[in-house]
Amino acid sequence: MAITRGPRSWTWPGTWPARSRILDAGCGSGPLFAALRDRGAIVTGFDRSTKMLELARRRLGADADLQAADLGSPLPFPDGAFDDVIVSLVLHYLEDWTAPLSELRRVLRPGGRLIVSVDHPIAFPVTVPDADYFATRKWSFEWTFGGHTALMSFWHRPLHAMTDAFTAAGFRIAVISEPPPAPDTPRELLPAKIAERPSGAFLCFLFFVLEAV
């Protein structure tokens, strides 16, 4: 996905502008933190799970700037501390986006960007055919991975509810993207219905690039 804003232009993945200050919100075990750092960014990460932060430190080293914080509470960072904030697959766990988006806007410098990925809102009505797409509601399913089963719960909201929340928090929507798998993904690793499509695209995740105004 090519992203352009004024003099700052690059293609993700690529080299981040030198010395960019990036906040990885809900960093988990740190894979995105590592990728951003490898591309030249100065990265800070936080997560509410201390267990996830332990895994992140193993991955990133003891000198990584990692903090325990909750996106639903005031964040321990000053106003305008970051050039960009990335929130990858986090917001769909939250019922109310008002306070989290307000805090993320606060810690961004004017003109900075909030880069968000969420589950595609079509996933809920496809998974639950009689569901009301336009209702904001919690839904759950069992996910089995590596021989372990866990109950996963998400908050579905329609696309217009997402965009309304972003603009109400002081962001301008620059990009909405339905990305395909990475170009170097072996086709045999993709589900058959995806692998046979020329584009390789699938309705799984939705990406936003939002500018702080």
pLDDT single digits (tens) 66-82: 999 999 899 999 999 99
pLDDT (tens digit, 9 = 90+) per residue, 131-176?
899 999 998 888 887 888 989 899 999 999 999 999 999 999 999 9
User: Which residues, in sequence order, are CB contacts of 34 under 8 Å at separation 6+?
Assistant: 59, 60
**Residue 4 clears pLDDT 60, i.e. is over it:** no
CB 33 within 8 A of CB 27: yes
Say whether the peptide bond before residue 13 is cis (omega within 30 degrees of 0): yes
* Predicted pLDDT at 15: 55
pLDDT band at 200 (very low <50, low <70, confident <90, very high): low
Express each pLDDT in 95-131 by its tens digit: 999 999 999 999 999 999 999 999 999 888 888 889 8
Can you give the pLDDT at residue 72? 85
The secondary structure of residue 165, as a DSSP letter, is H
- Residue 193, pLDDT score: 67
Amino acid occupying residue 81: A
Residue 188 pLDDT? 76
Number of domains observed in the structure of the chain = 1
Answer whether residue 7 shows pLDDT above 70. no
Q: Which residues is 175 bridged to in the sheet? A: 209
Among 104, 119, 4, 101, smallest CA distance to 44 is for 104
Domain span at residue 91?
A: 2-212
CATH number at 165 reads 3.40.50.150
* Whole-number Å distance between alpha carbons of 63 and 66: 9
